[in-house]
Structure 1
Amino acid sequence: MKNKLFLTLIAFSFLGLASVNAQTTKIAYADVDYILSQLPDSKTIEADLNTHNTQLQNQLEAKYQEYQQKLQAYQQGAATMDPAIRQDKETELAQLEQRIQKFRQDAQSSLQKKQMDLMQPVYEKIGNNIEAVAKENGYAYVLNGQIAGVDVVLYADAKFDISDLVLKKMGVTPASK
């Protein structure tokens, strides 16, 4: 009987401690997209990506114009061409078309890689500053308000949004929301 009473008291003690700990756990959220949009780095990155994209588009356009010229020349002279020459021209056009498709794929990969290379240090800096703000303010958890436009936190009181604190920690004055 004493053991049962003792175990019951210990169980209630643990429940009491668990409820006290649950009440003191601080949770906040930050909107990483908002933070990113406020950073001067994001405008520089966007300009770099636009420049890279324009260069790739110009190269693609040049390849496409070359293809169009050769296709037009082929179409104008196809009726009078020797069958062997016509076959060579058709093979050349098919190869050009394949190179254009490959260039499109490579350009897309190049643009994505460039974006990752440029964004990685910024995301690290944001993450480090979120961690610093969380530690300074005693938050046990910091959630992202949304990811790719989808709300992760379904409800949050605005007083727990630390996005502006993170921006201030990074030396950026937040614009009014």
Structure 2
Amino acid sequence: MNKIRLALAAAALTFVTSTAALAQAPLKIGYTSVEYVLSQMPESKQIESQLKTYSTQLENQLKSKYSDYQTKAEAYQKGASAMTEVVRADKEKELTGLQTSIQEFQRSADQSLQQKQQSLLKPALDKLQKTIDQVADENGYTYVLNSDGASPVLLHGPKDGDISDLVLKKMGITPGAAPTAAAAPATTTPASTPAVPTGGATKTKTKKK
């Protein structure tokens, strides 16, 4: 029992000593704008280009589905009055299915675009994190905060605490170019999906672009 008490006492003493040493150690806090640094990196243009290409592919697929819907919806409205009840119901069911397919594809495409962006950004963000770690170690920074976002971690700081340019120089990039928007996913919504005609009449008009 005495040995256990001595061990606990030693542990407590070590904790107090370490805490006191930490309290006496000077803290050097820096900050950086991740968006600014990313916008300066050559990877940013590559990511933006690849995202644009991928987004265009998704948009073209969505427009094709939408065009097919419009064609069939217009054909239904023109011939609905001459259709039997059974044929009319079948056409309305087909249009409802197409509308649902468009909406599901649109949701799936938006998620896919977000995932594509994250996948493309990961190597650049990993590179940025590694460089920030190196700059912080070389310049004695204890903490580095991010000054971006609607609710930034940093609300105020001295200019000499901004290590953004140091990070860029560490990556071999000359600072100074105006920051561009970070590679943001584009929307895949070309237009509103028209309502499906119901009730065996032609009251609902198809929306046209």
Change (3 A) 1:164 1:14: closer
1:10 alignment partner in structure 2: none
* Runs (5+) with no aligned partner, structure 2: 1-16, 179-209
Mapping for residues 54-73 of structure 1, pairs under 5 Å? 54-73=56-75
Structure 2 residue identity aligned to 1:90: E
Change (3 A) 1:59 1:16: closer
* Runs (5+) with no aligned partner, structure 1: 1-12
Mapping for residues 110-129 of structure 1, pairs under 5 Å? 110-129=112-131
2:179 matched to 1:166?
A: no
1:20 alignment partner in structure 2: 24
State the shift of 1:151 in Å: 3.1
Q: TM-score, normalised by structure 1?
A: 0.85
Mapping for residues 90-101 of structure 1, pairs under 5 Å? 90-101=92-103
Where 1:151 maps in the other structure, the secondary structure is coil
1:103 alignment partner in structure 2: 105
Structure-2 separation of matches of 1:176 and 1:103? 39
Structure 2 residue identity aligned to 1:72: E
State the shift of 1:94 in Å: 0.2
State the shift of 1:37 in Å: 0.8
State how many pairs are aligned: 162
2:82 alignment partner in structure 1: 80
Where 1:150 maps in the other structure, the secondary structure is coil
1:133 alignment partner in structure 2: 135
1:52 alignment partner in structure 2: 54
Structure-1 separation of matches of 2:94 and 2:19? 78
Q: TM-score, normalised by structure 2?
A: 0.73
Structure-2 separation of matches of 1:113 and 1:72? 36
Change (3 A) 1:15 1:68: closer
Structure-1 separation of matches of 2:111 and 2:23? 51
Change (3 A) 1:140 1:15: closer
- Report if aligned partners of 2:40, 2:177 keep a CA contact under 8 Å in 1: no
Mapping for residues 25-40 of structure 1, pairs under 5 Å? 25-40=27-42
State the shift of 1:14 in Å: 9.5
Change (3 A) 1:157 1:176: farther
State the shift of 1:18 in Å: 6.0
Structure-1 separation of matches of 2:22 and 2:176? 40
Structure-2 separation of matches of 1:91 and 1:15? 71
- Report if aligned partners of 2:30, 2:145 keep a CA contact under 8 Å in 1: yes
Q: Runs of 4 or more off by more than 3 Å in structure 1?
A: 13-20
